[in-house]
Structure 1
Amino acid sequence: FDLAGQPNGWMPLIEAMLFGPAIGALIWFLCLVRPVPPVAALATSVAIAGGQLLIVGKALGQSWDVPRYTTLLLGLTWILVGNSLGKLPRNRWAGIRTPWAMADEEVWARTQRFGGWAFILAGFATLAMMAVPLKEGRLALLMAPMAAAGGLSVLRSWQIWRELHPGAAPSRRIGRATLALLVLALLPLLAVAANRLGFLGQAWMVRLVLAAVVAIVAAAAIRKADGTD
């Protein structure tokens, strides 16, 4: 579906019915290879199940409001994630994994508690968009609450580190890696905003978003391999 909620691709019925279960089976296999916390598994399951329900429903002729349905699904997902963040032990696979949180148990705990409330509020803010008669582009605005929750959580993590370690700071290398990840994380939001303002075509917007996702994964892998994780 595009940002206006219209299907931008079609597939045979059998493939459409098997698409969601196939992705679910793949993620299940990956979780066997590399176990993840329950919150990550549950949030992923909710997103896949909701997406599959939407695809099958539209294929069967249901006149669902795709942007409104997606708003509901994402809002509930953020609330679910936020409700579980504060319970996460320090780990390498899920949570708000800033360098400062990974370096200190207290920073980790306080960062996850703050992030939990931030994502819960982001979820309710996303749900509130269902009551607003937004025009085409509702889906583009859904990134804003999540981006705000993530950005504020990172800043709060740094602030907590400074409070607990006033005379110390992570290395410049860690700071540069974190800054690069933040910039890359904001790139999709900026690309969508530029598209809505007419400065960027949809094709280029999609390319920038995909490039940002690839760059984020690459930067995170480099940071981990370089010992900055």
Structure 2
Amino acid sequence: MNTTHRFGLALGFVLLAAIASLVAAPDLPDQFVTNWDAGGEPDGTMSTAIGLWLLPAMTAGLVGLFALLPRIDPLRENITAFRPYYDWFVVVFAAYMTLLHVGMVAFNLGYEFDFTLLVLAGMIPLFYYVGVVLEQAKRNWFIGIRTPWTLSSDEVWDRTNALGATLFKWSALVALVGLVGGYVSGQIGLAFAAMFVPLLVTAFVPVAYSYYLYRDLESGDPSAV
């Protein structure tokens, strides 16, 4: 399977979302629920005519953007080195967006379930696969943990993204435990905390690490971590 096939698969998920909209449209109310609070209660709607096509259109646009980025990156030869992993991320992302859209359609058709748990459950494999991509990513301008220090040094890039990969994978596993615990106990807040607290750590630690690593390498400190 090559890049064309993988992006075709991603677009297949977009098509699946569009088909779900077409099939469900006659049975939907005028207002389409699109937002839920932390407790899983609906707290926002929009016109069904817009709600049915917003996520499919957004996903199609992002898939197109993902297809463009490797072509315009000045370091595109580095992206070629991990291109299959990047392509599969696009597929996983499109699958996640389709899951959200089909879930919204089902909810608006009257099926009763906690949409918040569906969102969190879908995020777990997405974030885990982000870790897989970071593990493979070579220095470029669009994909990976990009700071002034990682973009200035291959070693800082490799070590920072390796750390980020580990943190994203562990965040996904912690989120999975929190999701199961929150579902069993009925405490959705636990699932939210298990998802977003590790992600906050994952977002900030690699940035700080890249700065200190670059500084130590530039100073020639043999004790650089």
- Asked whether the two chains share a fold, i.e. TM above 0.5, the reply is yes
Which residue among 143, 155, 160 is the counterpart of 1:94?
Answer: 143
Within the alignment, does 1:135 sit opposite 2:187 as a pair?
A: yes
**Unpaired segments ≥5 residues, structure 1:** 169-229
The AA in structure 2 aligned to 1:135 is: Q
Closer/same/farther in 2, CA of residues 87 and 12 from structure 1, 3 Å limit? same
Change (3 A) 1:138 1:6: farther
Residue by residue over 1:53-104, the C-alpha shift from the partner in whole angstroms, topping out at 9 and shown as x without a partner, is 2211211222222232222111211101001101112111121112111110
In the alignment, structure 1 residue 19 sits paired with structure 2 residue 54:
yes
For normalisation by structure 1, the TM-score amounts to: 0.63
2:136 aligns to what SS in structure 1? coil
Compute the TM-score of the two structures, normalised by the length of structure 2. Answer: 0.64
2-structure distance, mates of 1:52, 1:59? 11
How far apart in 1 are the matches of 2:64 and 2:154? 31
Q: CA deviation at 1:129?
A: 1.0
Cα offset, 1:4, TM superposition: 2.0
Aligned-pair CA distance for 1:134: 5.5
Distance in 1, Cα, partners of 2:66 & 2:145: 19
Aligned-CA RMSD value? 2.5
Residue 212 of structure 2 corresponds to residue 159 of structure 1: yes
More strand by share: 2
Distance 1:103 1:43 in 2: 30
The answer to whether the Cα contact below 8 Å between 1:101 and 1:108 also exists between their aligned partners in 2 is yes
The list of structure 1 runs, each at least 4 consecutive aligned residues, that deviate by more than 6 angstroms after superposition, is none
Question: Displacement, 1:13?
Answer: 4.2
2:43 equivalent to 1:8: yes
1:57 to 106, 113, 123: 106
Aligned mates of 2:112, 2:101 — CA distance in 1: 15
Q: Is the 8 A contact 1:71 1:129 kept in 2?
A: no
Amino acid paired to 2:118: Y
CA deviation map 1:37-67 (0-9, x unaligned): 5366345324322221221121122222223
Please identify the structure whose Cα radius of gyration is greater.
2
SS at match of 1:103: coil
Residues 1:116 and 2:165 are matched in the alignment? yes
How far apart, in 2, do the equivalents of 1:159 and 1:29 lie?
Answer: 36
